């Protein structure tokens, strides 16, 4: 495999563009500057809840990696999903892994990113090997319970009485770097504690230290918190229908004049703008159309994200108008993916079997016998009925005693 033709400085800028943090960037520079082989990187995703619009963020970075000549592996971490206290069977998780693969391919294709060189690996294809299992034992022999718990605190689903699986999860993610034979791992900034666990402990097993790249997290639609696959109120699913998108955006938290932790403005910054730059092959471009009613100033187009933020901060731009523009932008991004889903039977099957509809069983009410009183033909007076019940119960007890 020949090295990338992109100059090292340009490649490093592409690789680290728009990231929130880089750990051990010198490792990446060394590989690029030696120019002996392409940089090898992996991004892992656990197929739990349905993917949401926040997934556009890592997709734009994957586009940057590929453009820089990086060998990118997408890990569909099925065993991690099983361990993450999601109460999904392994069979269901397998279908979810296929669903995630279809989603990722459709996402990248929709923003004009070539996927021919992208490598997909299912975690269970190598995580059940004797070598990997032995490494888990070795790592668990040098990591304390507190180390593992702290590492997974921002990633593994937290419950009052955690399962042991939540401690295994971060150890496996650290080991994946070695067993996928990469130079660096990419993920959200919520993965930082696991990345540090890997850096501090893999050398103790005789393995090299890797670089770690971290994306900022896209705020959810509520007040505070990240957009999460397990929280339906914080996110917009990739296959969300236009009417549902509009409904969710209209109910999103969006305080007038407040720019910080505004999920809608963050979506424009971390999703819409980078995708426009990719499509136009530009380092700085932005175009955002708002179909504003004439009585509020008429339609408007922003060509600067900073100007848009300033207008929102000074309340020149109102929350309803911002919501209108974001709704249209999201529906435009999702349209080609929904179209691909509708014509792809494998995609549909993975969705249906990975996320089966749970139908609650209706319990039939047991009718209580009506006490129609002693005047009803054949009826027995309440006192007499009670006496008869007592005699019947006593007779039954005597018969059982004889047995």
pLDDT tens by residue, 35-83? 778 999 999 999 998 999 989 999 999 999 999 999 999 999 999 999 8
The predicted model gives 317-323 an average pLDDT of: 95
Work out the widest C-alpha separation in the chain, in whole angstroms. 103
Residue 313 in this model has a pLDDT that exceeds 70: yes
pTM of the model: 0.83
**Of 181, 170, 208, which is closest to residue 41 (Cα–Cα)?**
181
In residues, how long is the chain?
A: 403
Residue 394 in this model has a pLDDT that exceeds 50: no
Residue 265: alpha-carbon gap to chain centroid: 20
Q: What is the Cα–Cα distance from 64 to 283, expressed in whole angstroms? A: 11
Domains along the chain with CATH numbers: 8-215 (3.40.50.620), 242-352 (1.10.240.10)
Beta strand pairing status for 21-23 and 119-122? unpaired
- Percent pLDDT > 90 in the chain is 67
Question: Which residues touch 259 (CB under 8 Å, ≥6 apart)?
Answer: 265, 309, 312, 313
As beta bridge partners, residue 184 has 41, 211
The predicted model gives 13-32 an average pLDDT of: 96
Q: Where are the alpha helices (DSSP H) in 85-185?
A: 90-110, 130-140, 145-151, 165-179
Which region, left, alpha or beta, applies to residue 268 given φ > 0 means left and ψ of -120 to 50 means alpha? alpha
Per-residue confidence at 1, pLDDT binned at 50, 70, 90?
Answer: very low
């Amino acid at each position: 495999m020949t090295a990338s033709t992109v100059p090292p400085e340009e490649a490093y800028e592409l690789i680290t563009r728009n990231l929130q943090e880089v750990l051990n960037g010198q490792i990446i520079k060394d590989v690029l500057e030696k120019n002996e082989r392409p940089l090898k990187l992996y991004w892992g995703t656990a197929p739990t809840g349905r993917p949401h619009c926040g997934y556009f963020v890592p997709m734009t970075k994957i586009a940057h990696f590929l453009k820089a000549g990086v060998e990118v592996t997408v890990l569909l971490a099925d065993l991690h999903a099983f361990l993450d206290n999601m109460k999904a069977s392994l069979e269901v998780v397998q279908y979810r892994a296929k669903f995630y693969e279809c989603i990722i391919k459709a996402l990248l294709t929709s923003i004009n990113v070539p996927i021919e060189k992208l490598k997909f690996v299912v975690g269970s294809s190598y995580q059940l090997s004797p070598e990997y299992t032995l490494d888990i034992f070795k790592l668990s022999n040098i990591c304390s319970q507190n180390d593992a718990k702290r590492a997974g605190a921002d990633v593994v689903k937290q419950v009052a009485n955690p399962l042991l699986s939540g401690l295994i999860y971060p150890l496996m993610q650290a080991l994946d770097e070695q067993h996928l034979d990469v130079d660096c791992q990419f993920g959200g900034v919520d993965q930082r504690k696991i990345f540090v666990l890997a850096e501090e402990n893999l050398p103790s097993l005789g393995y090299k230290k890797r670089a770690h790249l971290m994306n900022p997290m896209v705020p959810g639609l509520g007040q505070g918190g990240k957009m999460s696959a397990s929280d339906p109120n914080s996110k917009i699913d990739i296959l969300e229908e236009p009417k549902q998108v509009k409904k969710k955006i209209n109910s999103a938290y969006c305080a007038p004049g407040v720019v910080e932790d505004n999920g809608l403005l963050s979506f424009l910054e971390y999703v819409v703008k980078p995708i426009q730059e990719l499509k136009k092959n530009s380092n700085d471009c932005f175009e955002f159309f708002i179909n504003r009613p004439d009585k509020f100033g008429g339609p408007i187009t922003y060509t600067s994200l900073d100007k848009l933020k300033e207008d929102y901060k000074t309340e020149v731009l109102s929350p309803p108008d911002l919501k209108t523009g974001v709704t249209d932008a999201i529906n435009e991004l999702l349209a080609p993916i929904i179209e691909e889903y509708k014509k792809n039977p494998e995609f549909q099957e993975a969705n249906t079997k990975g996320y089966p509809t749970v139908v609650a069983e209706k319990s039939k009410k047991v009718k209580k016998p009506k006490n129609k009183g002693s005047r009803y033909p054949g009826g027995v007076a309440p006192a007499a009925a009670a006496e008869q019940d007592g005699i019947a119960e006593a007779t039954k007890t005597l018969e059982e005693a004889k047995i």
